[in-house]
Amino acid sequence: MYSIFIGSLLLSVLHAVIPNHWLPVLAIGRKDNWTLKEITTVTLLSGLAHALSTIVIGLVLGLLGLQLAGKIQYFTHFIAPVILILLGFFFIYQHHRHKHFHLHKTPEAALPKNKIILALVVAMFLSPCMEIEGYFLLAGVYGFWAVMSIAALYLLISVSGMVLWVRLAYKGVLKLNWHALEHNSGIITGWTLVITGVLSFFIT
């Protein structure tokens, strides 16, 4: 169980840091002279929409994991960890094919502000973090409390992280190579899933 929480924590932090979660808001806000408060508010709304769609899918998978755990004897010790490992290799494969699952394009800034905000929120809602869903499935083995714990952890870390990073970037505090980080996110995510799956064979 500890490996699931650690893996979920690492992915939540990673996806809060990845710039394509909050950089579109910052780019549009700076272009249209939004205040820091406005950029922070829109980032918060976008982050909540993004987390909500991720958690909805995760709850469904968590309930599926709960059902499977009660019907399949080896689900906890074999099938669920294998699913995490396969997901990890899938995201590593996707990384090498240069395919990503998150928002990269920003809505056209010629639109009115309210339509820009709506477009950002909808786009984030429609691009859930599929990488973390395997943890919801595995958490279902331990009961609904574990699934809700993963959901709360993801919501808190990812949304607060997005807000923190966008504020720091707005103030010019951050001077990181965002392109390199985003480019390598698939590798980091994939190996996090693989390592968690392997550890689950021995810890769960």
- What's the pLDDT score for residue 108? 46
- What's the pLDDT score for residue 67? 81
Q: List pLDDT tens digits, range 145-176.
A: 999 999 999 999 999 999 998 898 887 755 55
- What's the pLDDT score for residue 74? 60
Residues sharing a CB contact under 8 Å with residue 88, sequence separation 6 or more, in sequence order: 189, 190, 191, 192, 193, 194, 195, 196, 197
Query: Which carries the bigger pLDDT value, residue 119 or residue 15?
Result: 119
Q: List pLDDT tens digits, range 59-115.
A: 999 888 888 766 665 665 677 677 767 777 876 777 666 544 444 444 444 567 888
User: What dihedral angle (degrees, nearest 10) is formed by the CA atoms of 184, 186, 188, 194?
Assistant: -150
Decide: 91 and 149 in contact? Cβ < 8 Å.
Answer: no
d(CA 170, CA 165): 8
Tell me what the mean pLDDT of segment 184-195 comes to: 66
- What's the pLDDT score for residue 42? 94
The two three-digit tokens of residue 161, written as one number: 């992280």
Which 8-state DSSP code applies to residue 107? P
Query: Which carries the bigger pLDDT value, residue 129 or residue 54?
Result: 54
Q: List pLDDT tens digits, range 29-45.
A: 887 888 999 999 999 99
d(CA 25, CA 50): 13
